[in-house]
Amino acid sequence: MITRWNLASAGLIAGLVCALGAIPALADRVANPQPGGSAGPVAIELFTSQGCSSCPPADALLERLATNPNVLALTRPVTYWDNLGWKDTLAREGNTNLQRAYAARGGVGAGVYTPQIMVQGTYGMVGSDEHAVRSYIAQARAHIGPAISVASQPDGSRTITIDGKAGPGDRVTVVALRSSVAVHIGRGENGGNQVRYTNVVLGEHVLANWSTNHAVVAVAAHLLHEDGADRAAVLVQQGSAGPILAARML
Protein backbone atom coordinates (compact mmCIF):
# COMPACT_ATOMS: atom_id res chain seq x y z
CA MET A 1 0.00 0.00 0.00
CA ILE A 2 1.27 3.45 -0.88
CA THR A 3 1.52 5.86 2.01
CA ARG A 4 2.93 9.27 2.77
CA TRP A 5 4.42 9.41 6.22
CA ASN A 6 3.62 12.30 8.56
CA LEU A 7 5.94 14.16 10.91
CA ALA A 8 5.32 11.70 13.72
CA SER A 9 6.55 8.89 11.51
CA ALA A 10 9.58 10.97 10.60
CA GLY A 11 10.46 11.40 14.26
CA LEU A 12 10.08 7.69 14.92
CA ILE A 13 12.36 6.78 12.05
CA ALA A 14 14.91 9.40 13.10
CA GLY A 15 15.03 7.88 16.56
CA LEU A 16 15.49 4.40 15.21
CA VAL A 17 18.21 5.54 12.86
CA CYS A 18 20.16 7.32 15.58
CA ALA A 19 19.88 4.27 17.85
CA LEU A 20 21.41 1.93 15.30
CA GLY A 21 24.98 3.19 15.64
CA ALA A 22 27.29 1.71 13.00
CA ILE A 23 25.89 -0.32 10.13
CA PRO A 24 26.55 -3.98 10.92
CA ALA A 25 24.87 -5.19 7.73
CA LEU A 26 27.65 -3.58 5.72
CA ALA A 27 30.57 -3.81 8.11
CA ASP A 28 31.48 -7.39 7.25
CA ARG A 29 31.61 -6.66 3.53
CA VAL A 30 33.53 -3.42 3.22
CA ALA A 31 37.04 -2.30 3.91
CA ASN A 32 37.79 0.32 6.52
CA PRO A 33 38.47 3.69 4.86
CA GLN A 34 42.11 4.65 4.66
CA PRO A 35 43.47 7.63 6.63
CA GLY A 36 43.29 10.95 4.86
CA GLY A 37 39.69 10.71 3.68
CA SER A 38 40.23 8.42 0.69
CA ALA A 39 36.93 6.63 1.22
CA GLY A 40 34.38 7.19 -1.52
CA PRO A 41 31.10 9.06 -1.09
CA VAL A 42 27.98 7.79 0.65
CA ALA A 43 25.22 7.04 -1.88
CA ILE A 44 21.76 8.39 -1.13
CA GLU A 45 18.67 7.88 -3.31
CA LEU A 46 15.59 10.08 -3.06
CA PHE A 47 12.30 8.54 -4.15
CA THR A 48 10.10 11.51 -5.02
CA SER A 49 7.24 12.60 -7.26
CA GLN A 50 6.04 15.81 -8.88
CA GLY A 51 2.54 14.84 -7.71
CA CYS A 52 3.44 14.64 -4.01
CA SER A 53 2.93 17.82 -1.98
CA SER A 54 5.32 16.57 0.74
CA CYS A 55 8.21 16.13 -1.68
CA PRO A 56 9.54 19.62 -2.54
CA PRO A 57 11.32 20.05 0.85
CA ALA A 58 13.06 16.70 0.27
CA ASP A 59 13.98 17.72 -3.28
CA ALA A 60 15.55 20.90 -1.89
CA LEU A 61 17.42 18.93 0.78
CA LEU A 62 18.87 16.56 -1.80
CA GLU A 63 20.08 19.55 -3.82
CA ARG A 64 21.95 20.83 -0.76
CA LEU A 65 23.38 17.43 0.09
CA ALA A 66 24.63 16.97 -3.48
CA THR A 67 27.12 19.81 -2.98
CA ASN A 68 28.98 17.70 -0.39
CA PRO A 69 31.83 15.74 -2.04
CA ASN A 70 31.31 12.99 0.54
CA VAL A 71 27.78 12.37 -0.75
CA LEU A 72 26.63 10.94 -4.08
CA ALA A 73 23.00 12.05 -4.31
CA LEU A 74 20.55 10.55 -6.81
CA THR A 75 16.94 11.53 -7.52
CA ARG A 76 14.65 8.64 -8.46
CA PRO A 77 11.16 9.93 -9.42
CA VAL A 78 8.49 7.23 -9.08
CA THR A 79 5.36 6.54 -11.12
CA TYR A 80 2.64 5.73 -8.60
CA TRP A 81 1.41 9.31 -8.20
CA ASP A 82 0.80 9.68 -11.94
CA ASN A 83 -2.94 8.93 -11.75
CA LEU A 84 -3.69 11.73 -9.29
CA GLY A 85 -3.89 14.68 -11.67
CA TRP A 86 -0.36 15.06 -12.99
CA LYS A 87 1.99 12.65 -14.76
CA ASP A 88 5.54 13.04 -13.48
CA THR A 89 7.69 14.06 -16.43
CA LEU A 90 10.82 12.43 -14.97
CA ALA A 91 9.38 9.27 -13.43
CA ARG A 92 10.74 5.84 -14.39
CA GLU A 93 9.14 2.49 -13.69
CA GLY A 94 12.63 1.22 -12.84
CA ASN A 95 12.73 3.63 -9.89
CA THR A 96 9.35 2.42 -8.64
CA ASN A 97 10.44 -1.21 -8.95
CA LEU A 98 13.67 -0.52 -7.07
CA GLN A 99 11.82 1.13 -4.19
CA ARG A 100 9.42 -1.79 -4.01
CA ALA A 101 12.35 -4.20 -3.92
CA TYR A 102 13.99 -2.23 -1.11
CA ALA A 103 10.67 -2.29 0.76
CA ALA A 104 10.29 -6.05 0.30
CA ARG A 105 13.68 -6.56 1.90
CA GLY A 106 12.44 -4.83 5.05
CA GLY A 107 14.44 -2.96 7.66
CA VAL A 108 14.28 0.48 9.22
CA GLY A 109 12.24 2.92 7.15
CA ALA A 110 11.19 0.26 4.63
CA GLY A 111 8.09 0.96 2.59
CA VAL A 112 6.71 2.43 -0.60
CA TYR A 113 6.20 6.11 0.17
CA THR A 114 7.37 9.56 -0.86
CA PRO A 115 9.53 11.31 -0.05
CA GLN A 116 11.90 8.56 1.02
CA ILE A 117 15.70 8.67 1.15
CA MET A 118 17.65 5.42 1.16
CA VAL A 119 21.21 5.62 2.49
CA GLN A 120 23.61 3.13 0.88
CA GLY A 121 20.58 1.12 -0.29
CA THR A 122 20.20 -0.13 3.27
CA TYR A 123 18.13 2.10 5.54
CA GLY A 124 15.28 4.43 4.65
CA MET A 125 13.83 7.52 6.24
CA VAL A 126 11.47 10.38 5.43
CA GLY A 127 13.35 12.33 2.79
CA SER A 128 12.76 15.76 4.30
CA ASP A 129 14.11 14.81 7.76
CA GLU A 130 17.47 16.55 7.43
CA HIS A 131 18.75 15.59 10.87
CA ALA A 132 18.10 11.88 10.33
CA VAL A 133 19.57 11.92 6.82
CA ARG A 134 22.75 13.72 7.86
CA SER A 135 23.18 11.50 10.94
CA TYR A 136 22.96 8.37 8.89
CA ILE A 137 25.31 9.67 6.21
CA ALA A 138 27.89 10.36 8.92
CA GLN A 139 27.54 6.82 10.29
CA ALA A 140 27.73 5.26 6.83
CA ARG A 141 31.07 6.96 6.18
CA ALA A 142 32.70 4.44 8.51
CA HIS A 143 31.76 1.53 6.27
CA ILE A 144 32.61 2.61 2.74
CA GLY A 145 34.29 0.15 0.42
CA PRO A 146 35.50 -1.13 -1.97
CA ALA A 147 37.80 1.47 -3.50
CA ILE A 148 36.83 2.73 -6.96
CA SER A 149 39.21 4.58 -9.28
CA VAL A 150 38.27 6.02 -12.66
CA ALA A 151 40.40 6.75 -15.74
CA SER A 152 39.19 8.70 -18.78
CA GLN A 153 39.99 7.31 -22.23
CA PRO A 154 40.63 9.24 -25.48
CA ASP A 155 37.36 7.99 -27.02
CA GLY A 156 35.28 9.39 -24.15
CA SER A 157 34.83 6.08 -22.37
CA ARG A 158 35.90 5.36 -18.79
CA THR A 159 37.86 2.54 -17.21
CA ILE A 160 36.83 1.67 -13.67
CA THR A 161 39.10 -0.23 -11.31
CA ILE A 162 37.53 -1.80 -8.22
CA ASP A 163 39.50 -3.17 -5.28
CA GLY A 164 37.88 -4.74 -2.23
CA LYS A 165 36.08 -7.80 -0.96
CA ALA A 166 33.80 -9.17 -3.68
CA GLY A 167 30.82 -11.35 -2.84
CA PRO A 168 28.24 -13.52 -4.61
CA GLY A 169 25.74 -11.48 -6.59
CA ASP A 170 27.67 -8.20 -6.44
CA ARG A 171 27.35 -6.14 -9.57
CA VAL A 172 28.60 -2.93 -11.13
CA THR A 173 26.03 -0.51 -12.58
CA VAL A 174 26.44 2.74 -14.48
CA VAL A 175 23.73 5.35 -13.89
CA ALA A 176 23.15 8.17 -16.39
CA LEU A 177 22.12 11.45 -14.71
CA ARG A 178 20.85 14.92 -15.47
CA SER A 179 22.55 17.25 -13.00
CA SER A 180 19.67 19.71 -12.71
CA VAL A 181 16.14 19.81 -14.10
CA ALA A 182 13.57 22.54 -13.36
CA VAL A 183 9.97 21.43 -13.90
CA HIS A 184 6.87 23.61 -13.95
CA ILE A 185 4.10 21.40 -12.57
CA GLY A 186 0.79 22.12 -14.24
CA ARG A 187 -1.72 20.19 -12.12
CA GLY A 188 -2.07 18.02 -9.05
CA GLU A 189 -0.93 18.69 -5.49
CA ASN A 190 2.00 20.86 -6.65
CA GLY A 191 0.11 22.51 -9.50
CA GLY A 192 1.46 25.95 -10.40
CA ASN A 193 4.83 25.39 -8.72
CA GLN A 194 8.27 25.00 -10.22
CA VAL A 195 10.51 22.40 -8.60
CA ARG A 196 14.18 21.76 -9.31
CA TYR A 197 15.51 18.20 -9.25
CA THR A 198 19.17 17.22 -8.81
CA ASN A 199 21.07 14.30 -10.37
CA VAL A 200 17.94 12.77 -11.88
CA VAL A 201 18.34 9.15 -12.97
CA LEU A 202 17.66 8.89 -16.71
CA GLY A 203 18.90 5.36 -17.33
CA GLU A 204 21.05 2.61 -15.83
CA HIS A 205 22.85 -0.45 -17.10
CA VAL A 206 24.54 -3.36 -15.37
CA LEU A 207 28.14 -3.41 -16.59
CA ALA A 208 29.45 -6.56 -14.96
CA ASN A 209 29.22 -8.92 -12.06
CA TRP A 210 31.90 -8.16 -9.50
CA SER A 211 33.28 -11.54 -8.49
CA THR A 212 37.01 -10.93 -8.00
CA ASN A 213 38.61 -8.66 -5.41
CA HIS A 214 40.36 -6.70 -8.15
CA ALA A 215 38.33 -5.90 -11.26
CA VAL A 216 38.67 -3.60 -14.26
CA VAL A 217 35.42 -2.61 -16.00
CA ALA A 218 34.97 -0.53 -19.16
CA VAL A 219 32.15 2.02 -19.50
CA ALA A 220 31.29 2.86 -23.12
CA ALA A 221 31.01 6.57 -23.91
CA HIS A 222 27.38 6.36 -25.06
CA LEU A 223 26.26 5.08 -21.66
CA LEU A 224 27.49 8.30 -20.07
CA HIS A 225 25.20 10.48 -22.19
CA GLU A 226 22.03 8.42 -22.44
CA ASP A 227 18.84 10.43 -23.11
CA GLY A 228 20.59 13.77 -22.67
CA ALA A 229 22.47 12.95 -19.47
CA ASP A 230 25.27 15.35 -18.57
CA ARG A 231 26.95 13.19 -15.92
CA ALA A 232 27.07 9.60 -14.73
CA ALA A 233 27.85 7.55 -11.65
CA VAL A 234 28.89 4.00 -10.94
CA LEU A 235 27.42 1.87 -8.15
CA VAL A 236 28.77 -1.36 -6.70
CA GLN A 237 25.80 -3.11 -5.13
CA GLN A 238 24.77 -6.46 -3.72
CA GLY A 239 22.36 -7.81 -6.30
CA SER A 240 19.62 -5.71 -7.88
CA ALA A 241 18.36 -4.12 -4.66
CA GLY A 242 20.85 -4.94 -1.93
CA PRO A 243 23.15 -2.65 0.03
CA ILE A 244 25.28 -0.27 -1.99
CA LEU A 245 28.91 -1.07 -1.19
CA ALA A 246 30.54 1.86 -2.99
CA ALA A 247 29.74 4.66 -5.43
CA ARG A 248 31.60 7.18 -7.53
CA MET A 249 30.80 9.96 -9.99
CA LEU A 250 32.39 9.39 -13.38
Between CA 94 and CA 204 the distance in angstroms is 9
pLDDT at 17 over 50: no
pLDDT at 111 over 60: yes
Out of 3.40.30.10, 3.30.499.10, 1.10.10.10, 1.10.3720.10, which CATH number does the structure's domain 7-249 have? 3.40.30.10
Confidence band of 38 (pLDDT split at 50, 70, 90) = very low
pLDDT of residue 228: 86
pLDDT at 200 over 50: yes
- pTM to 2 decimals? 0.86
CB 231 within 8 A of CB 249: yes
pLDDT of residue 35: 33
Q: Mean pLDDT, to the nearest integer, of 198-224?
A: 94
Find which of 16-20, 25-29, 196-200, 239-243 is predicted with most confidence, using mean pLDDT: 196-200
Between CA 39 and CA 22 the distance in angstroms is 16
Q: Mean pLDDT, to the nearest integer, of 101-109?
A: 92
Residues contacting residue 221 through CB under 8 Å, at least 6 positions apart: 155, 156, 157
pLDDT of residue 8: 33
Compute φ and ψ for 56, nearest 5 degrees: -55, -40
pLDDT at 26 over 60: no
Percent of the chain with pLDDT over 90: 72
The residues spanned by each domain of the chain are 7-249
Residues contacting residue 103 through CB under 8 Å, at least 6 positions apart: 110, 111, 112
pLDDT of residue 227: 83
